[in-house]
Amino acid sequence: MPHVYDTLHQACAALGTRLFTVTVQDLTLDVARRAYTSHPVEYPVSGTKPLTRDGWYDFCITGQHTFVANTTPEFAKYFFDHALITSLGLGSCINIPLVEAGHVLGTVNLLAEEHHFSPEKLAAYEALVRKYHAELAAELAKG
């Protein structure tokens, strides 16, 4: 059976996702660590980024809501790597928190061209993450 990250990546790609990563929240080091990536050159699995307490963190991690940005200016204020993202031809993203027992274990991060994440597509992506929730939670809990 394929690894859950590969399976979810392929399902999201079929809906139009062009960049797919999964990050694990490491609160002991106060970083998000990449557990899976569709772009290992630009976004290697070994990569981390600090957990900055900002509007994105408040909404996605503390609030446990899917963050949606359909244009570069909407995410540029939160993502230090916004220039790299746009250089890849990407202009929209969603970050879906994976919540287990009231805590965010990590996020599923999907990027595509500008205005990709319509309400219908957003619902489809969130349904995919729900479908694989148990397997994703088990992987993310491993750290």
| pLDDT on residue 1 | 36
Dist CA 14 CA 118 (whole Å): 15
Backbone angles phi, psi at 95, to 5 degrees: -125, 115
The hierarchical CATH code for the domain 4-103+111-141 is 3.30.450.40
CA 20, CA 14: separation in Å to the nearest integer?
A: 12
Residue 28, pLDDT > 70, answer yes
What pTM, to 2 d.p., does this model score?
Answer: 0.95
Stretch (H or E) spanning 111: strand 103-112
pLDDT band at 2 (very low <50, low <70, confident <90, very high): low
β pairing state of 31-37 and 48-50: antiparallel
Confidence label for 27 from pLDDT (cuts 50, 70 and 90): confident
Give 70-96 pLDDT, tens digit per residue.
999 999 999 999 999 999 999 999 999
**6 pLDDT above the threshold of 50:** yes
One-letter identity of residue 91 = G
33 pLDDT more than 50: yes
